[in-house]
Amino acid sequence: MLKAMRKNIKSLAPFLWIVIAAFIITIFAVWGGAGRLGKARGSNILIKVGKEKISVDIYNQNLRNRLEALRRDFEDLDSKLIQQLNIPQQVLDQIIQRSILLQTAQNMGIDASDEEIRSEIFSLFQRDGKFIGFDEYQRILDINRYTVSKYEESLREDIIRNKIIKVITAGITFTPEELWENYKNRNESAKMEYVILEMDKMELKEESTKEEIQKYFEKNKEKYKIPEKREATFVFFKTEDIKKEIELADSEIEKYYKDNLPQFKEPEKMKVSRIYLPYEDKGEEFIAGKAQDILEKIKSGENFGILAKKNSKDEKAEEGGDWGLFEWKSLSSVEQKEIEQLSKGDVSGAIEFEDGISILKVTEKEPPVTNSLEEVKERIKSILEDQKARELAEERIRRLERGAQKEQSLEVAAQIIGLEIRKTGLLKEREGIEDIDPSGTISTNLFQLEEREISSPIYTYMGIGIVQLKKIELPRQADLEEVKDEVKEGLLDLKKKEKALKKMKQVKAELKRRNLEDLAEKYKLEYYTADEHKREQYLSIIGQNSKVDQLAFSLSLQETSEPLEFEGGYAMIRLLDRKNISQEDFEKEKEKEIENLLEMKKNRFFHSYMIKLREEIGFNIKSDLFFKTISDVLSMYGGQN
């Protein structure tokens, strides 16, 4: 279809290769690169989204792509960090959202034409304002291991996605009053001082009496209810335990190494330093002269880092201008182009911008290398042990499941083959079992079973198990003895709150005679200042608080508020100054403000609309396959429990 693109053009500039490669990787990290999303093979289905079936292979590839992209930013990326960042769930959500959008677009008759795809490619793959030619375009895709058809299909879906988003948000408008209020909220600010008294720091000399506890419980009985709880017997195979049984031959490790060689390739490492000289009020000619003076000093052997500390005016100046191995990639495209052309130890000339001049130095530059088998042997061993342990665990759990279904008893089946049976104890829904399932997958499954029912195998990050539901306790009103500790804690918090409020009122009463900072020292309060507090802005310890915002923009100058309760204690604020905006200021920035407000309202509406679409279209996830897939991928990243 793209015959018009077949033109012979010179080699692409090195920096453009990197920009385009990054673009390709980003597209496939977010949207996948295995053809159309719904093309799943066989019964290997992980997710059903409306009419569409998504294979485990597609999810697996998307997850791996995301993790490889993250690895460039987190050198110590391991399975624990991946779980903490919740990456597996994020990738799953992105796939579901993409499918929902494409199905909605199809229902609305929205598509992307060949001409639109061609136009997008022409705009993305350019050099000197011209398309680079089909041969060069295909060569870039080949290097990044993507076929033209797969890339263009992904691009087509991206165009459709953008179209449907525009359609969904097309009718968003706002009133002149909304525009004015939004501008005020973003630009008005308050200068204030405030004191905080955290309830946790309040000390009580006397313990609560039995009578006080009983009275508090009776008054707040509705707060203390026992939720439904369930108990089961279970068998669990922990991957780390089974790994001890695994023996690996050197030939297996060598084969894995040869079959997965790209996995052991270390990308190019480049470390960059920068000196940045803004024009500010000194003028372009003066700064240009200063830049040349610095370049002469560098040529004569003076230390780049010391010169950066003395002269540079960006956020890395104190660090000797060191932008590290990765942060330099956030610099301007012009600077990145220059960096790509420098060798280790090279210093650029003066790079001029509208607002200043920068000087760059490549302090480290190492080509990509492939780690030797010896270097990665232990890592491969861990991967293979983990894979084999999970396979063995799955084989054992399936055998146990067949026996349990036959005997209608997990306990009997476990005894027959000599396995340890355990009890969960009474669990709330989503409550974790610390040593095997802190995320609560097992208890979540319990609440989907009938009494005496035996579950299918349940996968968690730590292994695989099976349960039989034994007992259900329905929700009920709690007796005092069952929740005595919680009641005592609630009463203690109430007493601390009352004492804290009394103390803050004392501070307020003394404000006419002493300033707030002195009173904070006298009463051992925390004292803070905020020079430019804006609405919906986070405030130290207090957090984001609408009551604080209301006071900040309603108090008179030098007026002090009454004690204000927040989640962790009490605060009291005093307004020192306020920056108000005028209609004249507003008119100057009105066009930009219209753009900002429209974008914000579109984002909010789109988010709400997607929630509605998810409910209407519906989706179903095979949780056992989901956890198994995650476990297989995470086994390659180490750091597991």
Torsion 240-245-250-254 (CA) sign: negative
Residue 404 pLDDT more than 60?
A: yes
- Write out pLDDT tens, residues 270-329: 899 999 999 877 788 899 999 999 999 999 999 999 999 999 988 888 889 998 887 887
Grade residue 143 by pLDDT with cuts at 50, 70 and 90.
low
**DSSP E strand boundaries for 177-318:** 189-198, 225-226, 229-238, 265-266, 269-278
pLDDT at 77: 82
At 332 the three-state DSSP class reads coil
Q: How far apart are CA 625 and CA 47, in angstroms?
A: 10
Buried b (16+ CB within 10 A) or exposed e, 442-463: bbbbbeebeeeebbebbbbbbb
At 533 the three-state DSSP class reads strand
At 562 the three-state DSSP class reads coil
pLDDT at 459: 86
| Identity of residue 524 | K
pLDDT at 315: 84
Q: Is the pTM above the cut of 0.75?
A: no
**CB-neighbour burial class of residue 475 (10 A; exposed 0-12, middle 13-18, buried 19+):** exposed
At 244 the three-state DSSP class reads coil
pLDDT at 387: 86
- Write out pLDDT tens, residues 365-397: 888 888 899 999 988 998 899 889 988 999 999
pLDDT at 27: 32
Domains of the chain in sequence order: 3-170+604-634 (1.10.4030.10), 189-199+483-579 (3.10.50), 229-249+378-474 (3.10.50), 268-367 (3.10.50.40)
Contact 491, 218 (CB under 8 A): no
Grade residue 21 by pLDDT with cuts at 50, 70 and 90.
very low
Residue 102 pLDDT more than 80?
A: yes
